Structure 1
């Protein structure tokens, strides 16, 4: 297979740390605005075509938020396209934390690692001469307000004010994007949603919504991972579906898979999920490398 350029895990690690250093990226906060501005500037510095999609929404607890989705296009003129999705916000409260349920959280793996992988892919692709570019254009689409949802298992005492409204309390940015596609009439051959892809011991399984809607893309990515020697990360294990941004990108007609850290033992998500322990201490360059090199290589088999 044509060899992809090298995905630099040190660079991806630094991009993760940079986002965390802004502080919790909670919509309506200064840190959130600053992070978004930095992401837009970073993609532009790589020579990508960048669009911002501002939106307003109400969260399950009645907070009125201003969000923005960020779209950065590599080779915007290419007819064939692949989408790389992620979310750049953090959950406003660590409600799964053992001791500090209302504390803000860093979201180092849950959000920042996925954005970092997207940024490093964009950086590497932008450096390739035309003769070494992949045969597809790539759209990096970062959703906002993915993580301000109602978790019945940890927040049973809080009313979900969006219940019955027709809007899921999770994935507010991707729900908006799916109804107002940007670019207009957007189409891609497939999409890869990255979410929680930076922690030590990361394990990625074949999630049900991914299998149902984008089996060909799932097989492609897992086969590439296997050929690259990353089968310890990308397991041939079928697991149940989760609510994540890919639910809405699939509804929008983009066959999308979800790559996220699945904890096969007991709890569905790893211990750091929605807890204050989701900080830089759990971020591992080896996991970032496995995911980033695999997805980058998949673009080169098109």
Structure 2
């Protein structure tokens, strides 16, 4: 659930036991360990433009809350599709309906943008583009939707800038790249819901895609999910579900971030496993995917603005967008 900690107690028990024995994660010399493992990059990735990514985040927020079945939701989806086509992608749109935990029928769209679609070796990059229908953690107006500048729009903004960058760059990645914009991620059942408790009410778009792939038998080497990555002074821990299913991918991305100058963001600390879109891609589609997601060590795993009205443009940082976007481009270009 995207409240969103789920310890996956039995499933991840072995993984957490392993973490406790991982001396590299526990030591104070993580950067040195990583540097020893890092191979020299053979390709310099193009520059990620944080100002451009910021404008993409701002544009989404300007549409209004992107709640399924709303006008803002429809308009935002149309805009994402148009930008991806402008940036040379082969775009596939999955229109589908899902009945939510509250009985409402949701009209949803997954948007998939493919670059170099004929290449067998592929990498998935993903984010969700819908917003939470309720500020259920906020003391003020908890029944009203949130802006979702960080929770939703930040990941989309980075993916759109990656699309623009790859399209305009003279040198293209050596692998096929698929950008996934999952819908219905944040319509999950609140903790205080009056409805009977149900399973798998979050991440509806990724669940649908895992059962109905846009290309039959689609495979990717791995995937990287971006969620809540744009807040000022955000920190990314090595999240438990990612480590259980795709530790090698976590290692790859964290090495890249540290080696190109973003060690303040990609920290060699652990965080509990959560259920996010990457869980269903791992579990149902059998594609190793990790989650780059902001982590706060306080009382709220996701920070003081999570599912609150304070999740607005005031908390978005160009530096955070840059750290994530440049790191992901570096990883993709060095495959």
TM-score of the superposed pair, with normalisation by structure 1: 0.95
| CA deviation map 1:102-134 (0-9, x unaligned) | 1111100000000000000010001123xx212
Q: Distance in 2 between matches of 1:11 and 1:297?
A: 18
Q: Distance in 1 between matches of 2:216 and 2:113?
A: 14
- 1:27 is the counterpart of 2:60: no
- 1:116 is the counterpart of 2:157: yes
Q: Distance in 1 between matches of 2:93 and 2:196?
A: 29
**Residue in 1 aligned with 2:314?**
281
**Residue in 1 aligned with 2:190?**
151
2:85 maps to which of 41, 44, 47: 44
Q: Distance in 2 between matches of 1:36 and 1:267?
A: 30
TM-score of the superposed pair, with normalisation by structure 2: 0.86
CA shift, 1:265, in A, is 2.2
**1:76-155 maps to which residues of 2 (within 5 A)?**
76-129=117-170, 132-152=171-191, 155=192
CA shift, 1:183, in A, is 2.0
RMSD of aligned Cα (Å): 1.0
Q: Distance in 2 between matches of 1:184 and 1:126?
A: 26
**Residue in 2 aligned with 1:182?**
214
Q: Distance in 1 between matches of 2:230 and 2:301?
A: 17
**Residue in 2 aligned with 1:249?**
281
CA shift, 1:100, in A, is 1.8
2:272 maps to which of 218, 222, 240: 240
Q: Distance in 1 between matches of 2:278 and 2:101?
A: 20
Answer yes or no: is the 8 Å Cα contact 1:61–1:160 preserved in 2: no
Q: Distance in 1 between matches of 2:280 and 2:46?
A: 31
- 1:204 is the counterpart of 2:236: yes
Q: Extract unaligned runs of 5+ from structure 2.
A: 1-40
Q: Extract unaligned runs of 5+ from structure 1.
A: none
Question: Is the radius of gyration larger for structure 1 or structure 2?
Answer: 2
CA shift, 1:159, in A, is 1.4
